[in-house]
Amino acid sequence: MLLIRIIILYVQDFFKLIISLSFLFLATSATALVHSYDEMPTSFKDKWEKLLHYKNKQSLLYSHDFFLSSNGTVSPQNELLATINFFEKDPLNKCLFPARNYLINGEEPSSKCTDFQEFKKYVSTDVVRVVFADESVNSPISSMGHVFLVLEGINANGIYKKHATSFVADTSVTKNLLVGFIFDEITGTYTLEPYDDTIYRYVSEEKRTLWEYELNLSDEEKKWLFYHLYELKSHKFKYNFFDNNCASGTESLLAIANSGFEKENHNFYITPIEYVKYLASSNRVIEHSVRPSSEDDHRLKHKVTVDPLLSGETSRVSLMVNINKSYRPEYKFKYLPLSSDYTEDTLGKSKLSEFKLLEFIAKHANDYTSIEEITLINMRSLPNFLINKKPKFNFGIKFHGDVDNQKTVLNPDLNLGIGYSFYEKGFRPFIAVDSGLYMTRARASLYLSSNIGVTYSHKLLGKFFFNLKKYML
C-alpha cells in the first residue's frame, strides 16, 4: 500500500509539473505577443482595431462585457492576448466572437455555436444595401437625414428576409437627447429589425423617402460583416452627432468588410448624404431604387425626380461685397460648417426645408471688423400645400452683432413661425410668417415678419432664388 501511495504522489506531482509548464509557456507566449504586437502585419492590426472600434487610440464601445482585458478599451495588444487565452480556455468561447476567431485562427463558427446558428436562421447577407432616409423636419437630430444598412437574402430556413441595421442614439439610456447633446453624454447602439417595420416608420409615419443603394461586396466581405454584426448585438457605444453618428457608425461597420468603405480625409464630422455620395463616387454602388413618401410620389408622377446625390456640400465658406448707403464697400465673410439649404440645394432636396448649425458672419466696414451674426440653430420647413396641409413649425436661435464703442455686442434673437410652399416640377413659390423676440441690453422687442419667395431649378439653366422679406412690427 505504501508503494502504491508513493506512486500516486509521484503521478500527481508529474501532472502538476506539466500544468505549471503549460501556464509558463502560455505566459511566455503572451508576453512575447505583447512585445511583438507592433511587429505584426499592418493589415492584421488594422482589422483587429476595427473589430474593437478604436478611434484616436481608444475604443468607442462602452460595454465592458465586450472586452476580455481590463484595459482592452485602450490596449489592443492586451485585448488580443486576453482573447487568445479566452479561446484556449474553452473552444466554445469562440462562439461569442466569430469575427475575432476568424481573424486569429481562420476558423468559421462550428455547429455547436447554438446562438450563432439561431441568428443565422433569420438573418442573411446575400444582398447588402445602404439606405439614405431624407431629412426629418420634425427633429433637429434627423435634420441632415439618416443612413443605415439593409441585409437581405434567403436565410437558413429557406425564407427570403430583409433586416435593417442602424447605428442610433439609444433613447432607453439617454432620455433627453438635447441634454445629452449639450453635455456630450449620448449612448448609441446598433439595432436590428425587419426592414418592413423600418419602411412603415419612415415612409408612412414620418413621410420620409428612402433611397436604396445596393453595394458591391464579395462573399468574403459579406462574411466579415455578418460575423461582426453578431458580435455587436446590443453593446453600447459613444454617440456624438458630429464625429460618431449614424454615418460614421455605418462606415465603421462596412470598414470591417473592407477598408475601402472608410472615407478618407473627411472633417471632424461626416453627414449621412456625404457618406452615401462617397460610396457612389468610389464605384461601390451597383444599382439604386427609391421608396417615395407621399410628397415625393406626387412629384414622381409629374416626372420630377430628385436625386440626393446631387445635393450640395454641407459646409460652406462665402465672401461677399456690399455697397452701403455711403457708397462704401462692406466685406462679409460667412462660414457655415453644417447646413442643408433649400435656397442653394434645389436639385438634391425633395422638400423645401433647411437646417443651419453654428453659422458665423463677420463684416468689415468703415475700417472696423465686427461679428454681424451667429446662428446657433435654424430649422425651417415649408410643406407643399397641394399635398400636405398640416403646417410645420419653424424655429431659430441666433445672435445679432451690434457695434457699441468699438466693441461687438451680441444680442439674442429667438423666432418661431410657419410656412407653406406651392410647387410643381422645378418651380417652387413659398410664403412664411415668423414671429420673434429680439433682445438688447436696453429692451426686448417683439416682431412679426412675412417672407415671400420662389426657387427654381433646371438641369441646364441651373438654380435661381428670389426672396422678399417684410418686417411688420
The tens digit of pLDDT for each residue in 322-337 reads 877 777 888 888 887 7
Give 283-288 contacts, CB < 8 A, sequence gap 24+.
Answer: 283/216, 284/215, 284/216, 284/260, 285/130, 285/213, 285/214, 285/215, 285/216, 286/214, 286/215, 286/216, 287/213, 287/214, 288/211, 288/212, 288/213, 288/214
CA-to-CA distance for 75 and 165, rounded, in angstroms? 28
- The band of 165, judged by pLDDT with boundaries at 50, 70 and 90, is very high
CA-to-CA distance for 54 and 16, rounded, in angstroms? 40
**Confidence at residue 376, expressed as pLDDT on a 0 to 100 scale:** 86
**In terms of pLDDT, which residue wins out, 205 or 301?**
205
- pLDDT (mean) for 178-182: 58
Bridging pattern class, strands 285-291 and 236-239: unpaired
CB neighbours of 333 closer than 8 A, spacing ≥ 6? 317, 318, 319, 320, 361, 362, 363, 364
CB neighbours of 367 closer than 8 A, spacing ≥ 6? none
CA-to-CA distance for 54 and 58, rounded, in angstroms? 5
User: What three-state secondary structure class fits 125?
Assistant: coil
Q: How far is CA 342 from CA 1, 131, 346, 421, in A?
A: 96, 22, 6, 12
| Amino acid at the residue 138 | N
User: Is 270 a residue whose pLDDT tops 50?
Assistant: yes
Q: Which three cell numbers stand for residue 38?
A: 507592433
**In terms of pLDDT, which residue wins out, 10 or 140?**
140
Of 300, 130, 133, the closest CA to residue 200 belongs to 133
**In terms of pLDDT, which residue wins out, 95 or 294?**
95
User: Is 372 a residue whose pLDDT tops 60?
Assistant: yes
Of 233, 231, 224, 282, the closest CA to residue 256 belongs to 224
Beta strand spans in 18-112 (E): 54-55, 58-59
- pLDDT (mean) for 207-233: 95
**Confidence at residue 363, expressed as pLDDT on a 0 to 100 scale:** 86
CA-to-CA distance for 96 and 82, rounded, in angstroms? 14
- pLDDT (mean) for 388-407: 75
Query: pTM higher than 0.95 for the full model?
Result: no
CA-to-CA distance for 370 and 67, rounded, in angstroms? 51
**Confidence at residue 305, expressed as pLDDT on a 0 to 100 scale:** 63
**Confidence at residue 298, expressed as pLDDT on a 0 to 100 scale:** 74
Of 386, 212, 199, 381, the closest CA to residue 293 belongs to 199
- pLDDT (mean) for 367-394: 81
With a pLDDT cut of 70, the percent of the chain lying above it is 79
**In terms of pLDDT, which residue wins out, 358 or 132?**
132
**Confidence at residue 447, expressed as pLDDT on a 0 to 100 scale:** 87
DSSP at 117: H
